[in-house]
Amino acid sequence: MINKIKNYFGHGKDHFFTVILKGLFWLAPIIAITLIILWIYNNINALTKTMFELIGINPLHHPFLWTIFGVLILALVAYIVGIFVETRLGDFIQKLYSKIPGYKTIKELVNIFNTSKSGEKKVLVVLIKGFTTEGFNIGLMYSTRQSIVKDHYTVTLSMTPIPNGGFMFEVPKDKIFVIQEATFDSNLQYLLSMGVKSLADILNVEPRELDKFPSLEEYLKK
C-alpha cells in the first residue's frame, strides 16, 4: 500500500491532481444521492414526529416505527395527489396557479425530469439529422404535439456533459426515428458520459440498421 502511494506521488503534480479529480468525480454522485436521501429522511422524521405527538405517543421511543409510518404516509399522499391531478379540481387549481408569474416556467423545468408522462406529453428519445450531413444525432421530444409548421415536431439536441443547454429543431415527422427502448434517464446517462458509453451500451442492446427504428409517423399510428 505504501509503495502504491509513493508511486502516485512519484509521477509529479499532474498525476497527483489527476488522481484527485478522479476521486472527486467518483464521490460526487454518491454524495449527491446521500444528501437527497438524508433530506427526505429528515423531512419524514419531522412530519411523523409531529403526528405521533398529536396522538400522544413519544416518537423518541419508536424511531424505526415512525420512519416506516412516514414512508407509508408519503406514498399514500403521493398516490392521492397523483389521482387528484387528473380531476377537474386539479385542473382548476393548476389554472389558478398558472396566473402567478414564473409558475409555468418552473413547472416546465420540473416536468423535464418527469418520466411518468404519457400520450402527447411523453418524452421520446429520437434520431434526427442534426449537425452533420451524414448520419444522425440523438435528441429528445418533450411532446408529440405538432409544431407551428404542419406535420413538423420540435426536437431538442442537448449539450454534454451539462445538458441544460442545446438546440431546437422543427423536423418533419417522417424524418424523425424513435428509439423506443430509450428513456429520458438513459439519454441523460448518455449525455453525462460524453460518448464514453454509447446509447447501445447504456440500453444493453445491439446496434441495428436505421430502418429497424420506427419513424415518428409510424410510431404515432400505433
Q: What is the pLDDT of residues 164-203, one digit of tens each?
A: 778 899 999 889 999 999 988 888 888 888 888 899 999 9
Categorize the per-residue pLDDT at 123 as very low, low, confident or very high, splitting at 50, 70 and 90: confident
Categorize the per-residue pLDDT at 56 as very low, low, confident or very high, splitting at 50, 70 and 90: low
> What gap in Å lies between CA 54 and CA 60, rounded to an integer?
14
For the entire predicted model, the pTM comes to: 0.54
Phi, psi of 215 (to 5 degrees): -70, 160
Q: Which amino acid is at 128?
A: I
- Provide the residue ranges of all domains of the chain, joining segments of one domain with +: 2-84, 117-221
Q: How much is the average pLDDT of 80-108?
A: 69
> What gap in Å lies between CA 146 and CA 176, rounded to an integer?
13
> What gap in Å lies between CA 88 and CA 79, rounded to an integer?
17
- What angle (nearest 5°) sits at the alpha carbon of residue 116, between those of residues 149 and 81? 115
Q: Please tell me the predicted confidence (pLDDT) of residue 213.
A: 93
Range with the poorest average pLDDT among 50-54, 61-65, 109-113: 109-113
Please provide the average confidence, as pLDDT, over all residues in the chain: 76
47-68 residues labelled b (16+ CB within 10 A) or e (exposed): bbbeebeeeeeebeeeeeebbe
Q: Is the pLDDT of residue 104 over 70?
A: no
Q: Is the pLDDT of residue 3 over 60?
A: no
Q: How much is the average pLDDT of 144-169?
A: 87
Q: Is the pLDDT of residue 103 over 70?
A: no
> What gap in Å lies between CA 23 and CA 11, rounded to an integer?
17
User: Residue 173 corresponds to which cell in the numbers above?
Assistant: 415527422
Q: How much is the average pLDDT of 210-217?
A: 90
Q: Please tell me the predicted confidence (pLDDT) of residue 206.
A: 92
Angle between helix axes 103-111 and 88-98 (nearest 10 degrees) is: 120
> What gap in Å lies between CA 22 and CA 15, rounded to an integer?
10
> What gap in Å lies between CA 37 and CA 33, rounded to an integer?
6
Categorize the per-residue pLDDT at 125 as very low, low, confident or very high, splitting at 50, 70 and 90: very high
Listing DSSP states for 186-204 in one string gives HHHHHHHTTTSS-HHHHHT
> What gap in Å lies between CA 12 and CA 174, rounded to an integer?
55
Q: Is the pLDDT of residue 75 over 60?
A: yes
